[in-house]
Structure 1
Amino acid sequence: MLLHKTNEKLEAGQAPDPEILARADAVLEEMRQAGILLVAEGLMPSSHGARVTFPGGGAPRVIDGPFAETKELVAGVSIIRVESKDVAVGWALRFADADPGTEIEILEIAD
């Protein structure tokens, strides 16, 4: 799974730069053509979401967004099926070329 981190502009509800979006869409199309893309979804800013916490191990607490720590938030998710972490890293680097400066986390989905 590739978790595409957000930035201040996206979190403020601004649309992505059309040129960057076109480059990212081209990478997604390459993934589709390669037969590895299972899911690709963008996410709304955190102002549309909520967070469930368990302060002190007690009862759950629901906090409505927006959330202050933008660098911890995700703007989109791509789920790919590849043979190794190295291959996943290669695809993440393709996204990095499409949108320089965007942090992408690569996580393996548990079976």
Structure 2
Amino acid sequence: MVTAEIAMGLIPIMGAFVLLMTAIALGTAALNAQEIARALARTAVIGKPIGAMVSHYEQEYPGSNVDVGTRGEYLVVTVTVEPNGVLSPFDMGVSQTVMARPEPGVELP
């Protein structure tokens, strides 16, 4: 009888484990997207070209997308990263946007 109770108890434990792994994967993807967006914005606002960095990040994180644009006098960098691991088959992209003002005398891309 004890075996049946243990087997029934494993179902919610495994469900909680899957939810925990999902939260970790999404959190890691969000941190990666935020760091990529910050690095690209920092580089662009000081006037350095970011084309090589964009292609590097898109190769480093397959399925990622980097959009660089302007909104008024601000540079806007939006990065979307697909989580790895168990969530790869699902379309659960995480997006982060960073806005930054360029240094004086720097032309926005």
Q: Do these two structures clear the TM 0.5 threshold for a shared fold by scoring above it?
A: no
TM-score computed with the length of structure 1 as normaliser: 0.29
Greater relative contact order (CA < 8 Å, ≥ 6 in sequence): 1
Question: Which of structures 1 and 2 has the bigger CA Rg?
Answer: 2
Q: Greater strand percent: which structure?
A: 1
